[in-house]
Amino acid sequence: MEMVEQGTGQERLTSTDQYGFERPAGPEPEPHRELLSNYGAVLSRRAIKWRKLLQHSRVQRSLRVKRYIRKGIPNEYRSLIWMTVSGAQAQMEKNPGYYKKLLEMEEDPKLVEAVRTDINRTFPDNVQFRRTANPCLQHALFNILVAYGNHNKTVGYCQGMNFVAGYLLIVTKDEEKSFWLLDALIVKIIPDFYTPTMIGLKTDQEVLAQLVKMKVPAVAELMEKHNVMWTLVVARWFICLFIDILPVETVLRIWDCLFYEGSKITFRVALTLIKYHQASILEANNFPAICEKFKEITCGPLVQDCHVFMQKIFTEPGTLPLATITKLREGSRAQMVAQS
């Protein structure tokens, strides 16, 4: 779909992708057009395999399902699979009417104000989140975030949750499903990321620093030499789960695996970006240059071709046992608690 964007003093012709995000209109560059064509063929093949799988049984955890998910879930099945493998569907079925009750609770003025402030900043480049859209996803997003604040008083509302819930809405097109998927993420997959202390987020940033030291030592040494704190370059990767960092389709493919395999996937993605671009990062010789390199490594051909990128995250970092991550997390968290 093409449209004219106005209000900036200049008119700019734009088009939107299948998720409602704007992009410049006009012919695609040849390499990108070829990439889209190839990926379209991949999705068609995957859709046939998923259709056959779902015809014969409900999705259950198995090596076959894990393999299918790693190769990508076609968009028409994404909501169903995410709900099933994350446990969100089971939670929703156990709690009929609960979401509606949360919306009927007495308003918490602080919560409502915090959510309302961020709603207008959420995906201004997505036509579905414009006030003029019909339906306007801003209303649904507001409901989800207020309901979640009522449901989980410890978390309430934290910046970053708006983008995550927004992506869930784009995929599920359903408020209640998005609410339960958000709960699965916050409670099980990335616990303590959005609490007031953000200790889960801080812990995982420290774990990544330790993993880089083990797997890409030259980059770890560069960071230490120039006193670059990891939180400066990777905090947004973690708190927004790569939204607005990597291309939309690549983020959704990462989330396919995240809902099935858990937060270990975020480390695989981060390590792949760092290890694959090691030579480029090592060209930096001062603090600002290092920060700039970490922006650059999230762009370019590697992340544009989401199918190849997803293959890379399971090979480039090498082995990454959950036991290693758990041990590093325990050590990092204990150290932070002792220091606080």
237-273 per-position pLDDT tens digit: 999 999 999 999 999 999 999 999 999 999 999 999 9
* pLDDT beyond 90 at 103: yes
Helical spans, DSSP H, in 57-158: 63-70, 75-86, 88-94, 98-104, 109-119, 137-151
9-34 per-position pLDDT tens digit: 445 556 888 999 988 766 655 566 66
pTM of the model: 0.92
- Partners of 21 in the β-ladder: 126
- Spatial separation of the C-alpha atoms in residues 93 and 46, rounded to whole Å: 29
Question: How open is the CA angle 121-125-130, to the nearest 5 degrees?
Answer: 70
278-292 per-position pLDDT tens digit: 999 999 999 999 999
Nearest to 333 by CA among 165, 199, 217, 182: 199
**pLDDT score, position 300:** 85
Residues 6+ apart with CB under 8 A from 212: 219, 220, 223, 271, 274
Nearest to 181 by CA among 93, 89, 110: 89
Q: Which of 8-22, 130-144, 160-174 has the lowest mean pLDDT?
A: 8-22
Q: pLDDT band at 73, cuts 50/70/90?
A: very high
